[in-house]
Chain A
């Protein structure tokens, strides 16, 4: 075996030896075929990199209010789509409609596909996040 092949094998083995727990792999966490539409009140925004987070409170099947934790793309992504933090802040306390790819664990969480602000403007995270 050449010394070059040997050294790449060493690097390879070392990489495999390290434990790696994926928690945020998009396709591992979210099911892009399980689409849910959530309509409710936007109560919280976490406008951060690399992912934004939103809390929407919607009426569940029994009439009780359920809290949905929704993840979105980065602020830069929204900027290219001509939307900024103030647009979302204007919707806080108002009704929004979000189509999400639901989390595989069936919890009340998902990844944004489209987000309809209280102003009626619809922001799409597709096709890159769909």
Chain B
């Protein structure tokens, strides 16, 4: 693929080499990635539990969603920027990884779903919808985002 030589040359840029080959580099970047994914999934779980009506029923959903949004966005920035660095450090490894490819497909789907579809369901008036629909949307959201997480973990174990 034509992209790979370009990615390989990026992986040889001094800042990327420093991150990859230094003692502190990769564990630090991966720790950012872990904290970012923890906060991203936590905010998603909060919204989905509330949407499904399983928890936080005393909180008005659109107000909860509004307050949570900056933290979801911030977590996405953190997890994706650290993820990009991890990727650029050894692009060949990830490009050839089947779980990684699946992870990227799920990530795109999750982002589109979250900012395109879920948004409508966490707006005011969700209580008017049938409970089953809300539960279904919440389950789909959780499946997509935790799917990203599990696919990411599979990278280390499956070719």
Contact = CB atoms under 8 A, between A and B. Distances in A.
Interface of A: 4, 8, 11-12, 15-16, 18-22, 25-28, 49-50, 73-74, 76-77, 80-81, 125, 127-130
B90 A26 contact: yes
Contacts of B25: 22, 25
B20 A28 contact: yes
B28 A20 contact: yes
Contacts of A15: 28, 31-32, 35
Interface of B: 20-28, 31-32, 35, 70-71, 74, 78, 89-90, 92-93, 96-97, 156-159
Contacts of B92: 127, 130
Contacts of A18: 31
B23 A20 contact: yes
Nearest to A4: B70
B28 A16 contact: yes
A129 B74 contact: no
In the complex, the 9 A-B pairs of residues with the closest C-beta atoms, listed nearest first: A20-B27, A76-B157, A127-B96, A22-B23, A25-B26, A20-B24, A74-B157, A28-B21, A128-B159
A76 to B, nearest CB: 4
B71 A4 contact: yes
B89 A27 contact: yes
Nearest to B24: A20
A112 to B, nearest CB: 12
Given A4-B71, A22-B25, 19 more contacts: A12-B32, A15-B35, A16-B28, A19-B24, A20-B28, A21-B23, A21-B24, A22-B27, A26-B90, A28-B20, A50-B156, A73-B159, A74-B156, A76-B157, A125-B159, A127-B96, A128-B93, A128-B96, A129-B93
Contacts of A76: 157-158
Contacts of B22: 22, 28
B96 A27 contact: no
Contacts of B71: 4
A8 B97 contact: no
A12 B32 CA distance: 8
A38 B101 CA distance: 33
Nearest to A126: B96
A8 B96 contact: no
Nearest to B93: A128
28 contacts: A4-B71, A8-B78, A11-B35, A15-B31, A19-B24, A20-B23, A20-B24, A20-B31, A21-B23, A21-B24, A22-B22, A22-B25, A25-B25, A25-B26, A25-B27, A27-B21, A50-B156, A73-B159, A74-B156, A74-B157, A76-B158, A77-B159, A80-B159, A81-B159, A127-B92, A127-B96, A129-B93, A130-B92
